[in-house]
Structure 1
Amino acid sequence: MKTILIDDEPLALAYLEKLLEGIPGITIVGKYSNPRKALESLKMVTPNLVFLDIEMPETNGIELAEYIQEELSDVKIVFITAYDAFAVKAFELNAVDYIMKPVKRDRLIETIRRLPNIETKITEQSDSIMVCCFQQLSFCMNRDDELQPLDVHWRTFKARELFAFLIQHRNQPIRKDIILDLFWPEMDWKKGFSQLYATIYQIRKTLRTLNINITISSVENSYKLTLNEVLLDVDVWENELNELSTISNETLPKYQKLIDLYIGDYLALDDYIWAEGERERLRGMWLQLMKKVTDYLVFRGNYSGAISLYHRIQALHPYYEDSYLMLMILYESLGDRPSIEQQYSNYTKMFMNEYGLKPTGKIKDWYDKWKMENK
């Protein structure tokens, strides 16, 4: 059954698509956040089924449904809305169903089973939504172990940052006055609390739109965020890291997988000051992981593999001095003199930019000794 989706909220559109993709007999042939584009493609696509949001800024969904049925009389329409005020009018149009947001999978399955020529056997989905904090805050669809970012619209930057703050302090109560002092330090308490309540409302609304089961509860003058069954990339990464066995040829792929999952420092692009402690902690764990793997690769004589990893360290952390020394040592093992010179030049520039000084210490001593031996 050819199906199109129409909803002006991209996040709700993406989530509805995810739910429908796991249902036999449903083939999504178009999804539109712009009702005009949906109408333009209607005759070309000729759908059998339309999932249609009612509250849209340009065109009321009821009016849009009337036009669709005029053009394609056999099309089935399912209305999706956050309000029940249009229920009577919707069923006057002979709608298949009228589903309230947030859409639940069981409720959607019930609707699909009412349609003709649809198999009643519903398969379980392997997809899930994950909150991601490596590199920057985002929501990702975990589809067959591959993370696909979702386009999430935050009404304000403050709402996004407060959500990230609550994620960092997940499963523990954070006093409201502490949040006020951090996020609205210059406001008096009355205005500050008003801003706090409005921002929490915005966060909850975003989560409802995504249909993600994260709860933010108010308990004894505190807020507490609970992930429930929702995954967090940081937790998944750290748990798998703690379960690693001794590195060997057999376990090396697991080590490499965790290296790859660390796509950037914790909330690095967001650069929240309050996240620096957690950022340093996770970075230290990643560097220890990298050291284990590079040491093993060197032990096995895989110098090129170790060199590749040290370059990754430099790309993420150019101020990690040991990477320059280790790369020079590895390049010496390969007899690559130009690369040694390049590494020392890069180190000298980094040191001058960071400290305003010329290099001293073990890296300079190593380079001077190497230079003397290779005149």
Structure 2
Amino acid sequence: MRVIIVDDEKLALRQFQFEIEGIPWVELSGAFLNPVQALEFIENHSVEAAFLDIEMPEMNGLELAEKLRELSPGLVIIFITGYEQYTLDALKIKADYYLTKPYDNEDIKEVLERARLLSARQKKRVYIRTFPRFEVFVADSTVYFPNSKAKELLALCVDHRGGTVTIEEAVDKLWEGREYDNRVKNLYRKAVMQIRQVLSEQGVEDIFYGNRGSCRIDIIKIDCDYYVLLKGNPEAYKKWKLERKYLEEYSWAEETSAMLELSEREGTL
């Protein structure tokens, strides 16, 4: 989740950065002393949440929030301030959350988790189909992956339902039989880069997290027929019974497919 903070006190910026360092799914995209610089940044960058001080020179946080919302209507706005008298004003401009100084690590974690859930509910432009084959749709349009291994790696992440896919597992399943050396590691890293590129072109790069050693998807930000089936959705079950095929193009998906068959026989699907 990409966030920015705007506060005219350097100490406040440093504290915020310190508090979020241990949260792996949060990326601090920008820390600004000047509200005008924050506005310029939002014009050219995709951000999901903004933490704003209220009392600032040139432009206060309430004014800044209104301008940010004009540029990015889905932006989650969180005020951080030491003055509780602004609560009503914050509500009037439909701020999403209000965090009072001083705050601690638990406070910031709770607010960030709420902001992430809210942002995901507002977006969810991505639909992933796994029955019978793997396809990704953004705003109802099919996403094309020029590299088949990049697409397969993303499918493996979907199969893990938000769990981490290590480079070792990816190599074992996508490049079966290949020696685990620098060449095959580079193939994995190339696939990660291409996933990022394709998703970035679609404006949904925030559903995927990848680095040199592992990757995963953020399941909160996508809809997927497989996930809906596991939640007991009757329409998804009808579709599964009709197809009875899960990621049929990938041999490593046979284990999950067998699990689904077993669950159906046992009446737990």
- Quickly name the TM-score band, shorter chain normalised: 0.3 to 0.5
Which structure has the greater CA radius of gyration? 1
Give the structure-2-normalised TM-score: 0.48
Give the structure-1-normalised TM-score: 0.36
Query: Greater relative contact order: 1 or 2 (C-alpha under 8 angstroms, separation 6 or more)?
Result: 2
